[in-house]
Chain A
Amino acid sequence: MIRIQARTEPSSLMKVASPLLAIVLTLIFGAILFSAIGKSPVQALQVLLIAPLADSYNIGEMFVKMGPLLLCAVGLSLCYRANMWNIGAEGQLLAGALGGSAMALYFIDSESTFALPITLLAGIASGMIWAAVPTFLKLRYNSNLILTTIMFNYIALYLLIWSVHGPLRDPDGYGFPESALFSDITLLPTLFEGSRIHLGILFAVLSGIIGWFILSKTHLGFQIRVFGADEPAARYAGFSGKKLSWFVMLFAGALAGLAGVSETTGPIGQLTPNISPGYGYSAIIVAYLGRLHPIGAIIAAAFMAVLYMGGELAQIEMGIPVAVISMFQGVLLFFLLACDFFINNRLSLTNQATN
């Protein structure tokens, strides 16, 4: 007979093995899924996971996608560590893109060296404002953060769409819902000749390191961890929940805003209605895949970026529908959470039959 037993202490082996096991199970599920829609599973997995790393162009594109995923995921990791269920990275990213673009368009004829930093700051500030409203509503009126952040995702999206149809539309753009191309002065420099890898990826890796530093080295980070792990203990110790909530939400908003403005001033170079293929939502998966650890998020973001790239390649090369790719990602999160169960529990074989 198989029985589920609670472990006396969390298994440190499973803490490491759980994400790996989840990935393996996802691959098996993926193989079945692709066979079911009549595609070769081997080829599909090859395109999904190996092709993105097969040549330098693809690797470059992988880093381009990794940047915003990682920026959002680091912020979310801190939020979730503090039990702040911020689902609004997508909206904060869009707000950052919108605010940053407005600033970039303001500087369109400028020669100032401050144009780019100010544009980035505008994006960061916009993301923070977008995170601040739900935070205020939660702390002041005890509204549900999950709901308000999701609502703010939609508000940001439609505000952005309205903007590119209205005030920010390129007057010389033949009526396309796009802004004018930004001036070079407000574009993020690329890191390598002939590639689209830009400064954003450095911001992202740096944010991971900063996130790790905050959590493990500062008293503030310690308070965040206590607040998330054991709220009564945090109250007993006299930590201010409000202060911590504000900090993690504004931090996440700033990073998501930076992700948004880095997209528009980086690989895209203008504001368009579809600057994000759902980075802010996928970042939730990345955050959990990385164990809510900012350094873990770096690895997880790279993995997720490969999946994104692979997903695009699979659409192009094999005609696999995008919905199947999303499903594949969703299943990954599902298996991840399911495997986490074994950190605190184990299966044991018992022979209870002896009477």
Chain B
Amino acid sequence: MKKNNPISRLELANITKQYPGCLANDNISITLMPGEIHALLGENGAGKSTLVKTIYGIVAPDKGDIIWDGKEVSIKSPSVARDLGIGMVFQHFSLFETMTVSQNIELCLSKIQLNKIGDLAKRITQLSEEYGLNVDPNRYVHSLSIGERQRVEIMRCLVQSVKLLILDEPTSVLTPQEVSGLFNVLRTLSKEGCSILFISHKLHEVTEVCHKATILRGGKVVDTCIPSEETPATIAKMMVGDLADQDAGYSKKEGTITVFNVTDLSLPSKQPFGTELKNINFDLKAGEILGIAGVAGNGQDELMAIISGEDERNVKNAFTLGKLKIGHLHAGERRQLGMAYVPEERLGRGAVPDMSLTENTLLTHSTGFVKNGLVQWQSIKEYTSELISKYKVKCHGEFSEAQSLSGGNLQKFIMGREIGQHPKVLICAHPTWGVDVGAALAIHQALLELRDQGAAILLISEDIDELFLLADRMAAVCDGYLSPLIKTEETNIDQIGQWMAGTFINTAVQEAQA
């Protein structure tokens, strides 16, 4: 495996895949050289997932050839792909929490591979040192952070001596420090001749680490480029066509009066691997966006659930809306008082998958549409089609099932639905997670518009760039603690990054004890 090898590692020629009603891949041709870090870019629904699934043997293409190390191959299943030396790290990890790292890795190895490796734990330790992965084979997965779990997934590929590593949005769940760690690993791998196919929505990462980039739109290759010669803005332009003025910084606002207040919120976790909330205090002002940064699993979900009332435990005095204590009210009553929510899971929580958009409008927006207990279907229908056109939701119509929409479009719909209720307080979790640039822009603008109308917005996100872009004040959560609040202009990415890692906790604990 030397560099400058004239034989390409992987060549895709005219890959075409037709789904019912959607041409997911249209004559896609891509070449990857050994040691190349290749970015695959595109909006949601551009065909990236289908393409990598084709390479990993999950999806069979209708047409086209796959040439691996100069030979034409047919990758019929993931196990064939693994035998060739293709490894994939999915966006959602597939690890058993109650098993150790080495047990998890052992699970996906065949007997022959295991015999070849011999002492698996030793091999893991060795590889871990070689690539700076810092993975302890004997630790239980539930005790690992998200970043560590991702490294276990990468380790799982390395153990099988991988020649092509596919990463699906690997950085969306990492702290800035963890991201740079990951990039070091990728660079080391690349030097050894391992090719890497890297799917991301974060353009500055692509310019930082990738050698080449292929941009997909509507199932076609629309452009290729060398990221180091481009800026995030020019790549964004290629992705969305002519839209997107990405770097337009938004003006910051100062909130007026406090509308929502959290006082001394401490709450043990409901689930065995959940996070305990520890003495959380903050206030949310009208006309501001308060951003809460943090790596997934540090209490964001628990905080969201208790604020929304989905966690039904009574915390009467912890929440104040205006002058009203609302900690004892159930979720429906809190909505009636002007609270609205955009949850992290769009499908299955924010929207019922097999119900129409009209029905999904009614899900949270019943005021004015229910008279004497009867649903005014006609007026909801009209309102829903207004929502669809106002927020440019791509779908067949208000009768479309929620599950037929792409993630970004469904998110625009949910966002529009919640904003349409003119909430006093909007709690919004990971609004642009996995959403393409165009939709993200629309969602950002909708949030800012709502803020300027005087609503108080709590924005929980793992995307630190997004928080800096939108939030007027910021804080971070770590291990169930909330950091101090600070104006966005007065802080920087390093400080928030450190807060995400928990540097504020000692002082917070001391203050609590004092």
Contacts and interface: CB of A to CB of B under 8 A. Distances in A.
Co-complex (A, B): yes
Interface of A: 8-10, 217-220, 222, 225-226, 229-230, 232-233, 235-240, 352, 355
B304 to A, nearest CB: 10
B296 interface: no
Nearest to A233: B352
Nearest to B339: A238
A217 B375 contact: yes
14 contacts: A219-B362, A225-B355, A226-B363, A232-B345, A232-B349, A233-B348, A233-B350, A233-B351, A236-B310, A236-B341, A236-B364, A237-B364, A238-B333, A240-B330
A233 B343 CA distance: 10
B334 A238 contact: yes
A9 B375 contact: no
B348 to A, nearest CB: 6
Contacts of A355: 74
Contacts of B310: 235-236
A222 B375 contact: yes
Nearest to B76: A352
Interface in B342-374: 343, 345, 348-355, 359, 362-364, 366, 370, 373-374
Contacts of A229: 352-355
A235 B331 contact: yes
Most buried by B among A217, A218, A230: A230
Interface string B57-97: 00010000000000000101000000000000000000000
Contacts of B190: none
B335 interface: yes
Main secondary structure of the interface of A (DSSP, over half): helix
Contacts, number: 75
B343 A236 contact: yes
A220 B343 contact: no
Nearest to A235: B310
What 4 pairs across the A-B complex have the smallest Cβ distances?
A: A238-B332, A238-B331, A230-B352, A219-B370
A238 B340 CA distance: 11
B332 A236 contact: no
A83 to B, nearest CB: 13
Contacts of B352: 226, 229-230, 233
Nearest to B362: A222
Contacts of B404: 9
A218 B377 CA distance: 10
Given A219-B374, A230-B352, A232-B349, 15 more contacts: A8-B19, A218-B375, A219-B375, A226-B359, A230-B353, A233-B350, A233-B363, A236-B310, A236-B349, A237-B364, A238-B331, A238-B335, A238-B364, A239-B332, A352-B60
A255 B352 CA distance: 29
B337 to A, nearest CB: 11
B6 interface: no
Contacts of A225: 355
A232 B366 contact: no
Contacts of A226: 352, 355, 359, 363
Contacts of A352: 60, 76
A232 B348 contact: yes
Contacts of B331: 235-238
Given A232-B345, A233-B350, A240 B373 contact: no
Contacts of A238: 309, 330-335, 364
A11 to B, nearest CB: 11
Contact of B373 (A9, A219, A239): A219
Interface of B: 19-21, 60, 74, 76, 308-310, 330-335, 341, 343, 345, 348-355, 359, 362-364, 366, 370, 373-375, 377, 401, 403-404
A219 B366 contact: yes
Contacts of B353: 229-230
B373 A10 contact: no
Contacts of B364: 236-238
B374 A217 contact: yes
B20 to A, nearest CB: 5
A229 to B, nearest CB: 5
A10 B353 CA distance: 12
B375 A8 contact: no
A352 B74 CA distance: 10
Contacts of B362: 219, 222
A217 B376 CA distance: 8
B466 to A, nearest CB: 22
Contact of B332 (A9, A230, A240): A240
Contacts of B366: 219
Nearest to B369: A219
Contacts of B348: 230, 232-233
A133 B334 CA distance: 31
A8 B498 CA distance: 44
A194 to B, nearest CB: 42
Contacts of A9: 401, 403-404
A214 B309 CA distance: 27
B150 to A, nearest CB: 26
A198 B363 CA distance: 41
Nearest to A226: B352
A217 B310 CA distance: 26
Nearest to A7: B20
Nearest to A227: B352
A92 B404 CA distance: 41
A90 to B, nearest CB: 31
Nearest to A350: B60
A219 B345 CA distance: 24
A181 to B, nearest CB: 43
A9 B355 CA distance: 12
A95 B348 CA distance: 39
Contacts of A233: 348-352, 363
Nearest to B331: A238
Nearest to B332: A238
A218 B348 CA distance: 22
A2 B317 CA distance: 61
Nearest to B375: A219
Nearest to B377: A217
A76 B192 CA distance: 64
B224 to A, nearest CB: 30
B190 to A, nearest CB: 32
Contacts of A222: 359, 362, 375
A116 to B, nearest CB: 30
A355 B310 CA distance: 53
A10 B354 contact: yes
A18 to B, nearest CB: 16
B312 to A, nearest CB: 9
Which of A9, A232, A238 gathers most chain B CB within 10 Å? A238
Contacts of B377: 217
Contacts of A8: 19-21
A237 B345 CA distance: 13
A240 to B, nearest CB: 7
A340 to B, nearest CB: 14
Contacts of B370: 219
Nearest to A8: B20
Nearest to B72: A355
Among A217, A232, A236, residue most surrounded by chain B Cβ atoms (within 10 Å): A236
B138 to A, nearest CB: 35
Nearest to B353: A230
A230 B334 CA distance: 21
A237 B352 CA distance: 11
A235 B374 CA distance: 21
